[in-house]
């Protein structure tokens, strides 16, 4: 298990979770541990099982099998199913779910009154929560008279007020515009750090996941693909799905030709006859064996064009490529190149005196050994076309969106 911020004994543990709707399986054998005060995000495309997992933890959906514990107390097992209102869990929904007939203060007080807290004490606590989320001056205003971002902060204050063991957040920022969404994710993260609450967050937005989380759980088709901190997920994806869903990536197949003390060499003939790439080793154990079939990964921003940037290309990983398309976005060019049988995405940063090449121009591309990563190839030994092959058996580049 990855290192977590707090004790798992005080946090959430999900073991062998299977869940579905009728005969359709939504979640398959999900195992997850979240420590106290940790911010963990379930990330994946629509239909990947992240919201179903969240609803199972909340008690809003009954799993088919598995076990869920929180703070050492069993919430669900084949013999136990604690109802949602007794789970010491609060939830922040995508739709805000504020009471339109109540003031902002009354919305935040709602859970405190349900727990039989004296009214005066509940008012004081609710006001403290509104102050925490920056809405103290709006206590007397009806919640539906607030902006979308303010309503989301009311929902967050209400979720925090009863000091639950766990707060669940289901795509809480998806209804906000891009600028407000960026500000709100920073505010939520700061509030989480100040209060020390444990958060399980759901999103399909990789920027939210990478910027807010201690760890990210990447899911696809009901299965966890990889769990790790944001840096590890971006720089060391464990398969093609993670590489291309978390950011954008060029993924090309290769075979390990030689292994050295600090790097290993990979034959990548799909980029052109005789093309080899050196990949730096992060640790002594971080290395495949000679002859292994692997996938080589490099992000568009890791590629350099030596003749445009003045980068030295001697001794580096270079290969020739033909420019297919180029979009100027102000601070960089988004380009597509053809190299051998592959199409590659490249972010090219140039200066004011650099003249952009013509479409169809042949250029040298450079990727340093430190800017390459890899994983064992999923299609190794499989004669059928894979994610890296077309119907004719020709390798193709996998690109993220």
Residue 223 host element (H or E) = strand 223-228
Task: Please name each of the domains of the chain with its CATH number.
Answer: 8-235 (3.40.50.300), 248-376 (2.40.50.140)
pLDDT of residue 3: 39
Residue 143 confidence (pLDDT): 80
Return the closest-CA partner of residue 295 out of 239, 333, 349. Answer: 239
Average model confidence (pLDDT) across the chain: 88
Confidence label for 4 from pLDDT (cuts 50, 70 and 90): very low
In this predicted structure, the answer to whether residue 396 has a pLDDT above a threshold of 70 is no
For residues 90-103, average pLDDT: 86
Q: Which residues of 273-290 are buried (b: 16+ CB within 10 A; e: fewer)?
A: eebebbbeeeeeeebbee
Confidence check: pLDDT of 392 > 50 = no
Q: Is the pLDDT of residue 310 over 70?
A: no
- The full length of the chain comes to 401
pLDDT for the residue numbered 7: 53
Confidence of residue 311 (pLDDT cuts 50, 70, 90): low
Percent composition of the chain: helix, strand, coil (DSSP 3-state, to 5): 25, 35, 40
Our CA angle for 318, 320, 321, nearest 5°, is 125
pLDDT score for 2: 39
CB proximity list for 82: less than 8 A, separation 6 or greater: 59, 74, 75, 76
Average pLDDT over residues 84-102: 88
CB 376 within 8 A of CB 385: no
Mean local confidence (pLDDT), 352-367: 90
pLDDT (0 to 100) of residue 349: 85
- pLDDT, position 383: 34
Which of 58-67, 72-81, 166-175 has the least mean pLDDT? Answer: 166-175
Three-state DSSP class for residue 359: coil
- Residues 158-171, mean pLDDT to the nearest whole number: 93
Higher-confidence residue of 179 and 193: namely 193
pLDDT grade for 313, boundaries at 50, 70 and 90? low
384: pLDDT strictly greater than 80: no
- Examine the pLDDT at 210 and tell me if it is beyond 80: yes
* Whether residue 168 has pLDDT greater than 90: yes
pLDDT of residue 28 exceeding 90: yes
pLDDT at 266 over 70: yes
Q: Is the pLDDT of residue 148 over 90?
A: no
Which band of pLDDT confidence, cut at 50, 70 and 90, is reported for residue 385?
Answer: very low
pLDDT for residue 398: 54
In this prediction, residue 62 has a pLDDT band, given cuts at 50, 70 and 90, of very high
| pLDDT interval class at 399 (50, 70, 90) | low
In this predicted structure, what is the pLDDT of residue 48? 96
The pLDDT value recorded for residue 241 is 96
């Amino acid at each position: 298990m990855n290192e977590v911020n707090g004790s798992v004994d005080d946090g959430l543990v999900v073991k062998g979770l299977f869940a579905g709707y009728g005969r359709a399986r939504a979640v398959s054998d999900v195992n997850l541990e979240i420590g106290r005060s940790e911010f963990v995000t379930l990330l994946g495309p629509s239909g990947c099982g992240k919201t179903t997992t969240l609803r199972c933890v909340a008690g809003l959906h009954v799993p088919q099998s598995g076990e869920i514990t929180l703070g050492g107390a069993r919430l669900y097992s084949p013999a136990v199913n604690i109802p949602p209102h007794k789970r010491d869990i609060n939830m922040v929904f995508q739709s805000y779910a504020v009471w339109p007939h109540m003031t902002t203060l009354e919305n935040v007080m709602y859970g405190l009154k349900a727990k039989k807290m004296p009214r005066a004490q509940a008012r004081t606590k609710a006001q403290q929560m509104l102050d925490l989320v920056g809405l103290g001056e709006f206590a007397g205003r009806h919640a539906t008279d607030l902006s979308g971002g303010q309503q989301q902060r009311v929902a967050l204050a209400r979720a925090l007020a009863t000091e639950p063991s766990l707060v669940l957040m289901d795509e809480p920022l998806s209804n906000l515009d891009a600028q407000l969404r960026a500000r709100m994710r920073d505010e939520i993260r700061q509030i989480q750090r100040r209060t020390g609450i444990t958060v399980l967050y759901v999103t399909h937005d990789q920027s939210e996941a990478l910027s807010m989380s201690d760890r990210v759980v990447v899911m696809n088709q009901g299965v966890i693909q990889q769990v790790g901190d944001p840096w590890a997920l971006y720089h060391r994806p464990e398969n093609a799905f993670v590489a291309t869903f978390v950011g954008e990536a060029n993924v090309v197949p290769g075979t390990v030709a030689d292994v050295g003390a600090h790097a290993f060499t990979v034959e990548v003939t799909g980029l052109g006859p005789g093309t080899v790439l050196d990949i730096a080793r992060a640790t002594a154990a971080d290395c495949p064996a000679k002859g292994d079939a692997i996938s080589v990964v490099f992000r568009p921003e890791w590629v350099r064009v030596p003749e445009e940037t003045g980068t030295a290309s001697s001794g580096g990983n270079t290969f020739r490529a033909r420019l297919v398309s180029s979009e100027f976005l102000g601070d960089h060019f988004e380009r597509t190149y053809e190299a051998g049988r592959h199409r590659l995405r490249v972010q090219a940063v140039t200066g004011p005196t650099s003249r952009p090449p013509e479409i169809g121009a042949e250029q040298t591309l450079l990727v340093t050994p430190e800017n390459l990563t890899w994983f064992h190839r999923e299609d190794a030994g499989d004669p059928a076309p894979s994610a890296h092959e077309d119907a004719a058996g020709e390798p193709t580049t996998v690109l993220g969106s």
